[in-house]
């Protein structure tokens, strides 16, 4: 099976592509198959730093973990990080190469397809199987001519395609049928089957629909994956989170009181998953908030990262959240700023890189000034925070240009330097993933509970975030093994899409792949 590959496409964003790829990687790895994930082009502000100092989508890092691998820039060669509705930063093989507007991006697609295909070729040479993830929907016919992530990739690399649909959204049969019918004949020839995701209830109720879909399209449904409420960690992007919604499945408190955490859902939030480690803790209720009244009864406020720090800071002021955050701190209750959130807490921001706004005033809750630099900081540092060893990763243009002399750091680095800040009820850091360090997270929760006056809260012992993530990956592997036609999947990996698959009308006009030469 050396060099086998397939593409998992979806009827919509957040249909289950990422988790199905992770599940396939886990299932194959447990069978002893050397498997790697691959997403040609991802659009997400949830990213992670690889061991070699590159940047990739966080979902591909999770899929790598499912396969038993360290994250690599090869798993996500093109990453788009939206900074506004029409502009994105382009990251190629882990490095930012500039900004593009939505209408100018197609001009770069031929060059990027060469990068994508050569990277996929190296993975297929080094691994038995590569499981590829599409982006959005393959039926976005307005984008097909320059597509490098869905059917454009499948055509160029000869990949069989599985299309997954989310039944929880409703209309899944129409979604699956319509997706196929909107593809041109050559694209349709590569679609080998369907997968239905998030089904609740008796599978027998679906059987008539499954048979009719097979009869109408000539393609089988290769599996119906059941809804499992335990699957909530590492969402592909912040759109998966409901505004003003609870994160995770909070367990009852160990002590007598809950600790209530409000995470500000910024318009351009980045690495929204930072707060998920808190949501794994018993007695910690974590929710996203978008308006100031939600902060009134919060014990801890988290101001997360942002891909548009200055714009999101202006949004805080427009919505009244800035005043609510300041009032929260004046009352002595704890606040945690992470990356862009840390930058907003300072006295001044000089940004001629990300927004071009120049100097703007921060919230003034920390005695630091920030300056944005063209070169992005990408690293995976280690240190000590609140007496506990910690590791994290950094992804930011902002740098601390001045800090008040008496301002303590949150993290002590080797050599005596400090990172972040700890001042009264305010803690701040540029590090993502800091809360995934179990001992530090417990120390931080004890500090936050004390500041919030939650004497009845007790931080649970023995909670392992890494174990929680591993359990979810194992569950995904089990779902694939138990509910997917795995023999059919193996045939696709070995032989590709079967010949003679029927073409559904109307079909899009013939669409040539983006030229490589």
Q: Write out the catalytic residue numbers.
A: 339, 432
> Counting beta carbons within 10 angstroms of the beta carbon of residue 28, is it exposed (0 to 12), middle (13 to 18) or buried (19 or more)?
buried
SS3 66: helix
Q: Positive or negative CA dihedral for 139, 140, 145, 150? A: negative
Task: Give strand pairing partners of 389.
Answer: 384
For residues 53 and 69, give the distance between their C-alpha atoms in angstroms, rounded to a whole number: 16
H/E stretch holding 260: strand 259-264
178, 180, 185, 187 alpha-carbon torsion, rounded to 10°: 140
Angle between helices 58-66 and 17-30 (to 10 degrees): 20
The whole-angstrom separation of Cα 151 and Cα 139 is: 9
β-pairing verdict for 300-303 and 335-338: parallel
From the list 410, 370, 365, 375, the residue with the least C-alpha distance to 395 is 375
* Element of type H or E holding 468: helix 465-483
User: Is residue 393 within 8 Å of residue 433, measured between CB atoms?
Assistant: yes
């Amino acid at each position: 099976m050396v060099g086998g590959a397939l593409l998992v496409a979806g009827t919509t964003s957040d249909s289950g592509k990422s988790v199905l790829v992770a599940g396939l990687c886990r299932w194959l790895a447990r069978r002893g198959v050397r498997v790697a994930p691959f997403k040609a082009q991802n659009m997400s502000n949830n990213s992670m730093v690889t061991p070699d100092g590159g940047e990739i989508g966080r979902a591909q890092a999770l899929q790598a973990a499912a396969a038993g691998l360290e994250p690599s820039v090869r798993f996500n060669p093109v990453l788009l990080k939206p900074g506004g509705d029409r502009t994105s930063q382009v990251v190629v093989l882990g490095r930012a190469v500039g900004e593009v507007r939505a209408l100018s991006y197609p001009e770069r697609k031929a060059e990027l397809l060469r990068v994508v295909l050569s990277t996929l070729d190296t993975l297929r040479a080094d691994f038995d199987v590569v499981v590829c993830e599409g982006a959005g929907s393959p039926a976005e016919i307005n984008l097909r001519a320059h597509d490098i992530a869905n059917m454009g990739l499948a055509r160029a690399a000869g990949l069989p395609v599985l299309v997954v649909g989310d039944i929880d959204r409703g209309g899944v049969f129409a979604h699956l049928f319509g997706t196929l019918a909107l593809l041109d004949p050559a694209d349709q020839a590569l679609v080998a089957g369907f997968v239905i995701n998030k089904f609740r209830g008796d599978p027998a109720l679906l059987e008539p629909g499954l048979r009719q879909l097979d009869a109408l399209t000539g393609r089988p449904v290769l599996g119906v994956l059941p809804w499992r409420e335990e699957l909530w960690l590492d969402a592909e992007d912040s759109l998966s989170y409901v505004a003003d919604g609870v994160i995770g499945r909070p367990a009852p408190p160990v002590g007598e009181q809950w600790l209530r955490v409000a995470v500000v859902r910024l318009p351009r939030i980045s690495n929204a998953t930072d707060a998920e480690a808190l949501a794994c803790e018993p007695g910690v209720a974590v929710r996203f908030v978008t308006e100031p009244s939600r902060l009134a009864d919060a014990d801890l406020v988290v101001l997360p990262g942002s891909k548009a720090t200055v714009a999101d800071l202006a949004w805080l002021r427009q919505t009244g959240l800035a005043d609510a955050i300041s009032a929260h701190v004046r009352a002595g209750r704890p606040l945690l700023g992470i990356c862009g959130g840390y930058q907003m807490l300072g006295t001044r921001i000089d940004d001629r890189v990300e927004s071009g706004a120049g100097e703007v005033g921060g919230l003034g809750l920390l005695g630091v000034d920030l300056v944005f630099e063209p070169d992005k900081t990408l690293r995976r540092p280690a240190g000590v925070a609140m007496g506990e060893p910690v590791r994290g990763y950094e992804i930011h243009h902002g740098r601390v240009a001045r800090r008040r002399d008496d301002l303590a750091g949150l993290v002590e680095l080797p050599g005596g330097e400090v990172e972040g800040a700890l001042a009264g009820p305010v803690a701040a850091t540029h590090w993502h993933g800091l809360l995934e360090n179990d001992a530090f997270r417990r120390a931080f929760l004890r500090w936050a509970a004390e500041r919030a006056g939650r004497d009845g809260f007790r931080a649970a012992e023995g909670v392992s975030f890494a174990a929680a993530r591993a359990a979810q990956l194992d569950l995904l592997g089990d779902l694939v093994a138990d509910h997917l036609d795995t023999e059919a999947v193996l045939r696709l990996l070995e032989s590709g899409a079967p010949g003679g698959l029927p073409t559904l009308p109307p079909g899009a006009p013939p669409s040539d792949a983006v030229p490589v030469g």
